[in-house]
C-alpha cells in the first residue's frame, strides 16, 4: 500500500506543480516521414503519461501549412512548442528523451549537475 500512497503523492505533487493548468502544445512536423511519425507517437505517449486530462496537442504539418512555421519561427523539424502555461518553450527532436521532454515543458527541474567541462 505504501507504493500506492507514494504514487498518489507524486500525482498530487505533479498536479499542484501545474496548478491545474492546461498545457497547450503544438508539434510541427513535415509530412508523415518516419521521424515525424516517431515524434507524434512519442509526444502523445508522454502527454498521456504525464499530463493526462490537462493538455491540448495540435500537430501541424508544415508541408500543408508553411505559413505557420514562418509565424512560429520554426528552424528545425520536428519542433514542439509549449504555448501555455507560460513561459513559451521550444523542444527540437523526436521527443524520445523523456527527461528532456519533461524539463522542456517545465514539469521537471533541470538537472542540478550542470556541465562543468565547458
**Number of structural domains, the chain?**
1
Residue 90 lies in a domain: yes
| 47-92 confidence digits (pLDDT tens) | 999 999 999 999 999 999 999 999 999 999 999 999 999 999 999 9
Residue 113 lies in a domain: no
DSSP run (H or E) holding 91: strand 89-92
Residue 71 lies in a domain: yes
* Cell numbers describing residue 49: 503519461
Domain containing 75 equals 22-104
CATH of the domain at 95: 3.40.30.10
Among the listed residues 99, 48, 68, 52, the one whose alpha carbon sits nearest the alpha carbon of residue 91: 99
Residue 17 lies in a domain: no
Nearest 5 degrees, angle CA 19-CA 105-CA 47? Answer: 85
Residue 6 lies in a domain: no
The distance in angstroms from the start CA to the end CA of the chain is: 45
Distance CA 13, CA 18 (A): 9
Residue 13 lies in a domain: no
Q: What is the pLDDT of residue 110?
A: 78
DSSP conformation class of 74: -
Q: How many CB atoms lie within 10 A of CB 9?
A: 10
Residue 8 lies in a domain: no
Q: How far is CA 15 from CA 28, 86, 95, 101, in A?
A: 27, 16, 22, 17
Considering just the CA atoms, what is the radius of gyration of the chain in Å?
16
Residue 116 lies in a domain: no
| 3-39 confidence digits (pLDDT tens) | 444 444 554 455 455 456 799 999 999 999 999 999 9
Amino acid at each position: 500500500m505504501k507504493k500506492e500512497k507514494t504514487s498518489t503523492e507524486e500525482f498530487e505533487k505533479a498536479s499542484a506543480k501545474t496548478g491545474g493548468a492546461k498545457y497547450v502544445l503544438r508539434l510541427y512536423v513535415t509530412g508523415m516521414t518516419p521521424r515525424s511519425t516517431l515524434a507524434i507517437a512519442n509526444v502523445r505517449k508522454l502527454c498521456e503519461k504525464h499530463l493526462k486530462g490537462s493538455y491540448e496537442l495540435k500537430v501541424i504539418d508544415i508541408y500543408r501549412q508553411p505559413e505557420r512555421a514562418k509565424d512560429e519561427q520554426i528552424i528545425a523539424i520536428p519542433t514542439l512548442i509549449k504555448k501555455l502555461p507560460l513561459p513559451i518553450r521550444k523542444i527540437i527532436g523526436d521527443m524520445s528523451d523523456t527527461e528532456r521532454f519533461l524539463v522542456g515543458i517545465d514539469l521537471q527541474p533541470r538537472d542540478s549537475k550542470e556541465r562543468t567541462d565547458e
